[in-house]
Amino acid sequence: MEKHYAVIGHPIEHSLSPVMHKAGYEALGVNAKYHRFDVEPRHLPEAVEGLCALGFSGWNVTLPHKEHIIPFLNTLTPQAKRAGAVNTVKIQEGQRIGHNTDGVGFVRSVEKELNGFKGKLAVLLGAGGASKGIALALAEQGMKVHILNRKLEKAEALVEVIQREGGTATAGALAPEGWLEEVDLLVQTTSVGLHGESFPFSVQGISEQALVVDIIFNPSETAFLHEAKQQGCRTLNGLGMLLYQGVYAWEFWLGGQAPVEAMGQALQDQLLRRMLNTF
Ligand SMILES: NC(=O)c1ccc[n+]([C@@H]2O[C@H](COP(=O)([O-])OP(=O)(O)OC[C@H]3O[C@@H](n4cnc5c(N)ncnc54)[C@H](OP(=O)(O)O)[C@@H]3O)[C@@H](O)[C@H]2O)c1
């Protein structure tokens, strides 16, 4: 029987999830369709009921619904509970199960380059939704996490959550300090750079050993990432995180191993098409 999946968010027209999941179905001959629905916040409860009534097997959740969807679900996996946010829902025997693959997706996207997590220092710029999932997942891997945010109280609140989970974390102001020379993994999680803006501070003097990630993937190289590269650091954008959160969502829904290469290729092709269309 054909299965149906979807992504819901608002706005949603630029989501790359449909292209990625459809390529995966084609690669493995899975009899499924992946839809994309623009759901305004006021319509979220009806949208959830509607997806269930229509027999959807699961769906991805993106901004601004990742937290607001929780009251409409039956259970949460430990990952979703810890993050306080859901990016994947599975319908199993009528039960709506909320899961979160953002954090593990990020971890998977950096593990080859980082070569081990335990005891290393991660500095996260930003303390929004994305930062929370990433920070918790890195702390779970045994990294020391230092979180810097414009609104310091948000970084402090996130540190408390991590410490409650048994992780090691500290908070600080969004400024370049002593950590620049010690950082193993620097992750830019704010929305600064989405529209070509430069970052509020320079990373000049950063350790050349550091792996620097900007979770923005479009543009493929933000001004922040460009500067880190000029400083001699290895850099990654957010495409790997997007890919692996999708890969883990696939495996949560369908079991087995997702076709990572086909899904990644589809993402790259689609981004290239979009870039060419803008010229
Ligand atoms: N690659 C992926 O798969 C992936 C997944 C999720 C998100 N993302 C990207 O991650 C970014 C953040 O998403 P989110 O969901 O975490 O958003 P969010 O919850 O709204 O958080 C936004 C963060 O950006 C900070 N910020 C915004 N404008 C700033 C400025 N001018 N100066 C300094 N800090 C500023 C905010 O600081 P304050 O708290 O001080 O306001 C906050 O820490 C977006 O660009 C999104 O596209 C990528």
> Are 144 and 259 within one domain?
no
For residue 171, the enclosing domain spans 103-237
Domain assignment present for residue 184? The answer is yes
Q: How far apart are CA 96 and CA 98, in angstroms?
A: 7
> Are 136 and 253 within one domain?
no
Q: Does any ligand 1 atom lie closer than 6 A to the CB of residue 109?
A: no
Q: Which CATH number belongs to the domain containing residue 167 in this structure? A: 3.40.50.720
Residues 87-138 pLDDT 10s:
999 999 999 999 999 999 999 999 999 989 999 999 999 998 889 999 999 9
> Are 24 and 69 within one domain?
yes
Domain assignment present for residue 276? The answer is no
In percent, the amount of the chain with pLDDT more than 90 equals: 94
Residues 209-249 pLDDT 10s:
999 999 999 899 999 999 999 999 999 999 999 999 999 99
> Are 124 and 231 within one domain?
yes
Residues 13-54 pLDDT 10s:
999 999 999 999 999 999 999 999 999 999 999 999 999 999
Q: How many domains does the chain have?
A: 2
What is the Å distance from ligand 1's center to 57 Cα? 30
Q: Where does the pLDDT of residue 275 fall: very low under 50, low under 70, confident under 90, or very high at 90 and above?
A: confident
> Are 57 and 152 within one domain?
no
> Are 75 and 148 within one domain?
no
Give the global pTM: 0.95
- The 8-class DSSP code of residue 96 comes to E
> Are 155 and 168 within one domain?
yes
Sheet of strand 185-188, all strands in order from the earlier edge strand to the far edge: 168-173, 144-149, 121-125, 185-188, 211-214, 234-236
Q: Which CATH number belongs to the domain containing residue 47 in this structure? A: 3.40.50.10860
Average pLDDT over residues 58-63: 96
Domain assignment present for residue 279? The answer is no
> Are 96 and 107 within one domain?
no
> Are 156 and 167 within one domain?
yes
| Alpha carbon nearest to ligand 1 atom 17, residue | 128
Q: Which phi-psi region, left, alpha or beta, contains residue 181 (left: φ > 0; alpha: ψ -120 to 50)?
A: alpha
Query: Which residue from 62, 87, 189 has its CB within 8 A of the most atoms of ligand 1, so it is best to mutate?
Result: 189
Q: Where does the pLDDT of residue 274 fall: very low under 50, low under 70, confident under 90, or very high at 90 and above?
A: confident
Q: Kindly report the average pLDDT of the chain as a whole number.
A: 96
Q: Does any ligand 1 atom lie closer than 6 A to the CB of residue 64?
A: no
Pick the atom of ligand 1 nearest to 240's CA. Answer: 1
Statement: residue 279 has pLDDT above 80: no
Q: Measured in whole angstroms, how far is the alpha carbon of residue 153 from the centre of its chain?
A: 22
Q: Does any ligand 1 atom lie closer than 6 A to the CB of residue 171?
A: no
Active site members? 66
| Alpha carbon nearest to ligand 1 atom 33, residue | 150
Domain assignment present for residue 42? The answer is yes
Give kind and range of the element (H or E) at residue 245: helix 239-254
> Are 228 and 266 within one domain?
no
| Alpha carbon nearest to ligand 1 atom 3, residue | 242
Q: Where do we find the tokens 């006021």? A: 42
The neighbouring-strand residues paired with 3 are 32
Statement: residue 278 has pLDDT above 80: no
What is the Å distance from ligand 1's center to 249 Cα? 22
Q: Say what the pLDDT of residue 171 is.
A: 98
> Are 178 and 260 within one domain?
no
> Are 222 and 136 within one domain?
yes
Residues 205-220 pLDDT 10s:
999 999 999 999 989 9
Residues 149-204 pLDDT 10s:
999 999 999 999 999 999 999 999 999 989 999 999 999 999 999 999 999 999 99
